[in-house]
Homo-oligomer: A and B are copies of this chain.
Amino acid sequence: MSRELRFGLIGAGFMGKAHALALHSVGATFGLDTRPVADMIATSSDASAAAAAKRLGFARHTGDWRQLVTDPDIDVVTVCAPLPHREMVLEAIANGKHVLCEKPLASTTDEAKEMQTAAEQAGVVCMVGLNYPKTPASQFARQLIADGALGEIVSLRCVHVEDFLADPNLPIDWRMRQAEAGEAGALGDLGSHCIGMSHWLLGPIREVMAETRIVHTQRPDPDSGEHVAVENDDQAELLVRFENGVTGSLYVSRVGTGHKMGLSYEVVGTEGTIVFDQERLSEIQFYSRQDDPRTQGFRRIPIGPAHPDYGDFCPAPGHGTGYNDTITVEVRDMIAAITGDTADLWPDFADAVYVHRVIDAALESVKAGRWCKVG
């Protein structure tokens, strides 16, 4: 018999809307026995929450997130509010809720660790929203690696470049202040995606060597117009050594002129190579040394029902999934972990703590000018 999971959503911005759409779609997409219900939404005021509930299709709303996390009918809390998340997450856990929290989980590792511990002690399912590995192509990439289609892996290069701060005249905001966003800028915001993706594909990093740079050192204050200091990095580049011996690099930038959703990677193995670019999320390139020498080349593989999860969105190949579909897969994974249909949720809060630790090691490396171990 089917049952319901009642979701409470905190936040109605970019990611809040994406999660709302996923809640409405995931049941029909995957034919789930356990259906999510878009029950309550919380924003910063009753009025905005009422509007959000109507717009995004929630039954109930509140201007006080505490009411949401303590509501006895809520099973799962999805946190899409801006940082800090700590209090929301801990209160939700304390009330026995499962928690799906958008990235970054925290602005410090200690805070993330505190949430991980709370989640483990409470025995609730907790997930962080590093969604890109859920795209069918990147699920397939992981399969190819696991199947040995690439042979022994010898290199990974992962990049996440965007240009949302390329314009030097854009005013400063919370992302560029240490008090709010933490010490890491692009390294934290986009680096978490690279670190997450490389973890998904190859497992944990053992040590890093990093370089960061603030490209636009000053930006206008939105109120006064005066130029004030940008407090964290616009771009970062990391050499990394994985625990399995693979070496590679990560590169991130929020001033990468021309790149919009520039999360890409190349994984080179002794027998084959994979190349993926999130701006073309419905295809992946694969080269195999086993092909006949005359016809060896990178194959552009359009994602289809032969690949993970795609067939649940569309039975015909090459039609393409989109960004919101990836969030739908993420919510499916969360539900499966809650219902016990998977014992292997990725990424949980322990994975989020790992991401923070890699960033810490990178920041330490920048200061020390040498390789630093991930804590």
A residues with CB within 8 A of B:
2, 14, 17-18, 20-21, 24-25, 27-29, 31, 35, 54-57, 140, 144, 149-150, 154-155, 157, 161, 164, 166-168, 209, 211, 213, 215-216, 234-235, 237, 239, 241, 247-249, 251, 253, 255-262, 268-273, 278-283, 285-289, 291, 293-302, 304, 306-307, 313-325, 369-371
Quick check: B235 and A257 within 8 Å, CB to CB?
A: no
Min CB–CB distance A1 → chain B (angstroms)? 11
Q: Which residues of B contact A318 (CB under 8 A)?
A: 259-262, 278-279
Bound Cα distance from A18 to B317, whole angstroms = 14
User: Sorted from nearest, which 9 A-B pairs have the closest CB atoms?
Assistant: A260-B318, A322-B322, A258-B287, A261-B318, A297-B299, A319-B323, A297-B301, A321-B322, A260-B317
Complex: chain B residue closest to A14, CB-CB? B315
- Quick check: B155 and A256 within 8 Å, CB to CB? yes
* Chain B neighbourhood of A24, CB < 8 A: 24-25, 28
Complex Cα–Cα for A140 and B167 (A): 25
CA distance A317 to B24 in the complex (A): 23
Q: When the two chains form the complex, which single residue of B14, B29, B257, B325 contacts A268, counting CB atoms closer than 8 Å?
A: B257
A27-B57, A256-B155, A306-B293 known; A320+B281 contact, CB < 8 A: yes
Q: State whether B298 touches A270 (Cβ < 8 A).
A: no
**In the bound complex, how far is the Cα of B97 from the Cα of A223, in angstroms?**
54
Contact A256–B268 (Cβ < 8 Å) = yes
When chains A and B are docked, how far (Å) is the Cα of A123 from the Cα of B162?
A: 49
**Contacting residue for A29 out of B21, B144, B211, B291, CB 8 A:** B21
A323 to B318, CA, bound (A): 9
**Are A299 and B302 in contact, CB atoms less than 8 angstroms apart?**
no
Provide the residues of chain B in CB contact with A235, threshold 8 Å.
154-155, 247
Distance of A41 from chain B, by nearest CB (Å): 11
Sample of 9 A–B contacts (CB below 8 Å):
A28-B56, A28-B57, A154-B213, A235-B247, A237-B248, A255-B270, A258-B273, A288-B295, A322-B325
